[in-house]
Chain A
């Protein structure tokens, strides 16, 4: 992590707001990003950034006509903001998923849900990281 810590001050090694916004814009495909419906659960403090549990939950009937198509997770302060995209189908019954992610430093974790009708909803949580998860 030492090498990356050195670079972080230059702003080169870590994703910036622009990269995060670009990823959200690409995912939203022109739709306005709303609030509500999606709920991101993440710890307030992560002692070890190498493995941080996160869950997403989206309100949806999960029918063929009206379901959650995908949820994208972004880590705005990682070298690359993209973390994972969950692709749902009506067969999931509920739109929820859990995984474990890496966080290089204290930052906002962002979850963006895209519905089958194209509408988009976002939630974010600030996670304070004690030990960065950037390897090395």
Chain B
């Protein structure tokens, strides 16, 4: 089961700063390669897509395959020019969508 994602974004920055964003979501990332106790393969169930938007525009995304470790962690950067809101989205193989939002004040 995926639980609430955790995201670290600085609360404020100066215009033109390159900030670091760290994201993590609790998820087993079942690879589809593993066998259960009954000897049958456990079906694949992973987070397959991560997207980060800032004020409505996509700034970064990742296409994820089973080779990413459980509880997928992704760190990346954004050059901020104005205050606004980051919206983060994780897509599950089962169609579920998990989201998180963070505000940043840019001076």
Chain A residues within CB distance 8 Å of chain B: 3-4, 13, 50-52, 62, 73, 75, 78-89, 91-94, 96-102, 133-136
B5 within 8 A of A: no
User: How many B residues, CB 8 Å from partner?
Assistant: 28
A41 CB to nearest B CB, Å: 12
Q: How far is the CA of A78 from the CA of B68 in the complex (A)?
A: 11
| Interchain CB contact under 8 A, A100 and B65 | no
| Interchain CB contact under 8 A, A102 and B67 | yes
| Interchain CB contact under 8 A, A50 and B63 | no
The answer to whether residues A93 and B77 also contact, given A84-B68, A85-B63, A100-B69 and a CB cut-off of 8 A, is: yes
Q: Which of A52, A91, A97, A102 contacts B31 (CB 8 A)?
A: A102
| Interchain CB contact under 8 A, B75 and A4 | no
A83 CB to nearest B CB, Å: 4
Jot down 12 A-B pairs with beta carbons below 8 A, ordered by A: A13-B33, A50-B69, A84-B62, A84-B65, A85-B62, A87-B61, A91-B79, A94-B79, A97-B60, A99-B62, A100-B73, A101-B69
